[in-house]
Structure 1
């Protein structure tokens, strides 16, 4: 029954939203600010972290997107795509094509059970400098997680020295 309900929500969201990302958590308003690294909606908290925040090349920065169930019952995460989020890195308005962010995600709806106390984490290793990394000038970079489970995006910055 829960799967049927989630499937109907997906179909309705795709029809109404024109195949855009949708929110499968119901009518609750999300708490979120532009440029934020956290969103809480209903019993689900989504956070974005980037570590380390300052790096001397060569090195690796890891961006982590974590979904946590703050409630006591299972939540079904619904996405109009096979992945929970798309990822991008920017310097100013220019997109930086890190290999970890250059992937295709199926256009098929997907569902994941999010159990209380069992966070779900997606991570992107961003290799800077060295033989296999992106050669970047010093500066501030912005990692953006374009959520497929919510209408908002999450952002964090990191610095390359």
Structure 2
């Protein structure tokens, strides 16, 4: 519930800023002319577009430590979906199974859903065999943001489960 309230606070703040920007452009159009209003709007849009560059990756990084980069893919996989308040965490574990022994090869995690005001980022993880299932442990980095700026960073959140 706290995550939803924080997201709603961010939504109200963004709508309030948009409302103020709309009235500022309207006032500039009345006092001066359309060209000044358009120039002001484009300037504000250019300034709001400046943010920290996010690294562009085509795939999620392997979160298992100690697995060489050239490790071949496994012959099986397991998935898990976990709720993170207003968003969802999707976990994919790859493994190599021979007889009844499972050797983990990869652990991949992505976050999707309504994340306004929150930034979840998987940082590390482990996978071990537990009978016929895989037991995972995942460390998540969680930032609380207001209007895109980080206000508070939660200590590492540890998620565990079976798949």
Question: Larger relative CO (CA 8 A, sep 6+): 1 or 2?
Answer: 1
Same fold (TM over 0.5): no
TM-score (norm 2): 0.30
Bigger radius of gyration among the two = 2
TM-score (norm 1): 0.31
Higher helix share: 2
